[in-house]
Chains A and B, each alone.
Chain A
């Protein structure tokens, strides 16, 4: 097991180096001139040059690159110019916000999608199957910002059930002391139930939005994979042996159908984490996606590089976890590792 993890991590190193080089070059190739942008509307040419010097952008590209990698090696991701904060600190603060939202969205999605997929597979052509098809198609066809806005409009603006879409906590609550960065957990650790309720109620709409969007791949994959397994010979044998339908489906079929679903889950998770920018925008969520996009718009190099690098590391780790999970579910994979 440990050798497998070590080996996987070794494989990740070249790709991380590649990511560092490519993001550095790509951000430099962006058309905007950060010096002109940050010198402000009223700047003279000299003022722009002064800023360029201050930012170190007047140096040759290769020197900039070495300085950048040297800083990286010391754990310094540089400073964001738009927010004025160190990138590493910002990512550390914002990643839990995105992760909490994405995880909750994914859990909601799994709780609905997997039973739905299994039911649809056991009764193909029935009303459950049609329901599964319709909801997943509708969910995936609606753009996330649209679902988000409709939910805000109905549940906040019209009905008033949901709190104002103003980020992770109500304006008048203060954030719990950071332990995990997940407000749901941190408020419980701090035994602040009121803040916990506030954090949870702020999470419901955005998490639902994400869940609606990610229902489709999970439910469809569960259904397809269950169908394949259910028609296989060992299930027929199990049935012929007189096992109860529940045992057949849960113990034999479901476990075997899980492998492709886990793969899909990892893809959906990483996709959601990077792509929930729009949800973050709609709900004023202080997450990592909106941070990266804003930085990109203002040609702010450091956060973009930091974001891509963090995402690359996350992907590597996620793939590792998935591989380990494979091993847990299917012993054959473990032997090959």
Chain B
């Protein structure tokens, strides 16, 4: 922690200091290359260039998004603060020239001039092979496909060289959006098959090291943990030709250095900085800082409802009244989040997610509830968090610890190493913890299906089970698929209300994704995956 404090103070000093102009050390040819190159610095880099790979990390998603095409993608709309934001409900063709949605299937006509990076044309058999691969390789891609009821290779039918039909397994509103996420990317099947082996029929080893797509960029150099270099694909037909010719993405582990690189003008874009840095950079106005809420994402305090004392709703409500919400917003998030608490008493529940609950910090009320629960003298418990996000989690837990002590709940803080966090979540034994969940698909029932449903998925971290809740969630899913708006609205309002009165998890805030960039960089777009889309960006 000390190192981080020091960094903050150094960067704090830096923000106020005037920078002397220095003679450029880069020769003029290099300067030209520079103006067409985007230099990104971030903490971590990809471990695999293929999202279908085993354990591909989140930076790997960014490579896949920019180097592969999907059949369809989202249109853009104007989001908060005028920033382009993906439109959840509108789709456009990327590799598909047109697509027609029927009752139980969707048919795609492919663009005839689309070519993979090696020049082979993109055909229907590539599409089928790629989608088959996504639903069969196992792990995350298969799981994500199943979220849209895409589970069997038989669902993908080749009609002719440039026409593909996707059959629906059942009516599901999430099927079409699920075809526009990162996973169903179209891969050069012939090229990969040539490099596949008996042990590795889908050629995962090959696509791990190189991109074999038709996307706007291709990876020309990748040194794991150090840098990724991507060049523009001049023959891209998925959209207008991108303005940025070359993307250099360097891994700079020190947050303070990333900020220094930005402020000196050496790097073009960075994310993953401490919130305090973002807030200061915002205030100084030398850089463009974009902050947008995570779509369908919430940081929360969860309680294990299977074990005393948190099996008692009164205790959970007491905790909800004891959380120092505003302090967390100010001291931990530096205001860079949407509050999810303290809605006015008379505010009707909306058909939306996330939305704030009506709890506020009220120690007296919390104490009264504790007394009602027969625990006026309090109890002892532990609060756990993921060390990978210690920058937020640690101060947050300290504040919660301090506040809970006032109603007699003595907590010890349990720091769980990142590698171990998911194992711990899966065990479902931690009594009290903080965590973030955010879904790619921005629908309330999607969030609730994973986080509150009695089928007890990994994300139902509280082990919450309620027959009434299940009925409402399933009801909303069916209603969404059949287009029954009235039932859908009642069910969504119903499960939000129930989640807030039973309060197994206490939403704190909707976090922001923060990106800092030079003033001459334009075209940043917010996507559900929260990574950069280079295709729309421009420099100068």
B223 touches A33 (CB 8 A): no
User: Which residues of chain A are within 8 angstroms of B7 by Cβ–Cβ distance?
Assistant: 149
B263 touches A157 (CB 8 A): yes
A166 touches B419 (CB 8 A): no
Say which one of A9-17, A36-44, A111-119, A132-140 lies at the interface with B. Answer: A36-44
A85 interface contact, C-beta 8 A = yes
Say which one of B94-102, B252-260, B462-470 lies at the interface with A. Answer: B252-260
B224 touches A84 (CB 8 A): yes
B55 touches A38 (CB 8 A): yes
A166 touches B261 (CB 8 A): yes
Interchain nearest-CB distance for A86 vs B (Å): 10
A98 interface contact, C-beta 8 A = no
B419 touches A149 (CB 8 A): no
A286 touches B226 (CB 8 A): yes
Q: Which of A84, A85, A163, A284 gathers most chain B CB within 10 Å?
A: A84
B253 touches A281 (CB 8 A): yes
User: Which residues of chain B are within 8 angstroms of A160 by Cβ–Cβ distance?
Assistant: 19-20, 22, 264
A51 touches B47 (CB 8 A): no
Say which one of B26-34, B363-371, B394-402, B491-499 lies at the interface with A. Answer: B26-34
Instruction: Write the chain B residue with the least CB distance to A282.
Output: B254
B199-234 CB contact bits vs A (8 Å, 1 = yes)? 000000000110000000000000111110000000
A36 touches B143 (CB 8 A): no
Instruction: Write the chain B residue with the least CB distance to A174.
Output: B221
Q: Choose from B41, B46, B56, B139 the contact partner of A50 (Cβ within 8 Å).
A: B139
Inter-chain CA distance A337–B7, complex, in Å, is 51
Inter-chain CA distance A45–B138, complex, in Å, is 12
Given known A-B contacts A163-B25, A166-B250, A284-B254, A44 and B223 have beta carbons under 8 A apart: no
B422 interface contact, C-beta 8 A = yes
A84 touches B423 (CB 8 A): no
User: Which residues of chain B are within 8 angstroms of A159 by Cβ–Cβ distance?
Assistant: 20
A152-177 CB contact bits vs B (8 Å, 1 = yes)? 11001111100111110011100000
Interface residues of B in 235-279 (CB under 8 A from A): 248, 250-254, 256-257, 260-261, 263-264, 266-267
Inter-chain CA distance A163–B423, complex, in Å, is 42
Inter-chain CA distance A42–B446, complex, in Å, is 13
Inter-chain CA distance A84–B59, complex, in Å, is 13
A interface residue count range (under 10 / 10 to 19 / 20 to 34 / 35 or more): 35 or more
Inter-chain CA distance A255–B423, complex, in Å, is 59
A43 touches B253 (CB 8 A): no
A290 touches B253 (CB 8 A): yes
B14 interface contact, C-beta 8 A = yes
Given known A-B contacts A44-B457, A51-B55, A160-B264, A33 and B423 have beta carbons under 8 A apart: yes
Instruction: Write the chain A residue with the least CB distance to B53.
Output: A84
Inter-chain CA distance A153–B253, complex, in Å, is 16
B54 interface contact, C-beta 8 A = yes
Inter-chain CA distance A290–B46, complex, in Å, is 16
Q: Choose from A30, A80, A153, A297 the contact partner of B10 (Cβ within 8 Å).
A: A153
Interface residues of B in 16-66 (CB under 8 A from A): 17, 19-20, 22, 25-26, 30, 33-34, 37, 39, 41, 46-48, 53-57
User: Which residues of chain A are within 8 angstroms of B56 by Cβ–Cβ distance?
Assistant: 40
B417 interface contact, C-beta 8 A = yes
B264 touches A33 (CB 8 A): no
Inter-chain CA distance A194–B257, complex, in Å, is 25
Main secondary structure of the interface of B (DSSP, over half): mixed
Interface residues of B in 97-148 (CB under 8 A from A): 138-140, 142-144
A39 touches B261 (CB 8 A): no
A192 interface contact, C-beta 8 A = no
A178 interface contact, C-beta 8 A = no
A237 interface contact, C-beta 8 A = no
Given known A-B contacts A156-B260, A286-B223, A36 and B422 have beta carbons under 8 A apart: yes
A299 touches B254 (CB 8 A): no
B485 interface contact, C-beta 8 A = no
B417 touches A31 (CB 8 A): yes
B250 touches A153 (CB 8 A): no
Inter-chain CA distance A81–B54, complex, in Å, is 9
Instruction: Write the chain B residue with the least CB distance to A284.
Output: B252
User: Which residues of chain B are within 8 angstroms of A152 by Cβ–Cβ distance?
Assistant: 256-257, 260
Inter-chain CA distance A284–B39, complex, in Å, is 15
Inter-chain CA distance A36–B421, complex, in Å, is 9
A32 interface contact, C-beta 8 A = yes
Inter-chain CA distance A286–B330, complex, in Å, is 37
User: Which residues of chain B are within 8 angstroms of A172 by Cβ–Cβ distance?
Assistant: 26, 30, 33-34, 37
B520 interface contact, C-beta 8 A = no
User: Which residues of chain B are within 8 angstroms of A70 by Cβ–Cβ distance?
Assistant: none
B261 touches A33 (CB 8 A): no
Instruction: Write the chain A residue with the least CB distance to B457.
Output: A44
B420 interface contact, C-beta 8 A = yes
Interchain nearest-CB distance for B182 vs A (Å): 12
B6 interface contact, C-beta 8 A = yes
Given known A-B contacts A50-B139, A84-B53, A171 and B47 have beta carbons under 8 A apart: no
Inter-chain CA distance A83–B209, complex, in Å, is 10
B139 touches A39 (CB 8 A): yes
B344 interface contact, C-beta 8 A = no
A146 touches B6 (CB 8 A): yes
A47 interface contact, C-beta 8 A = yes
B144 touches A42 (CB 8 A): yes
User: Which residues of chain A are within 8 angstroms of B26 by Cβ–Cβ distance?
Assistant: 170, 172
B47 touches A47 (CB 8 A): no
A68-102 CB contact bits vs B (8 Å, 1 = yes)? 00000000000011111100001001000000000
A64 interface contact, C-beta 8 A = no
Other 4 A-B pairs with CB < 8 A, given A84-B53, A282-B257, A291-B225: A42-B140, A84-B48, A160-B19, A297-B418
- Complex A-B: 6 CB contacts under 8 Å: A31-B419, A43-B140, A44-B143, A82-B47, A165-B252, A172-B34
4 tightest Cβ-Cβ pairs between the two chains A and B: A38-B55, A32-B419, A83-B224, A160-B22
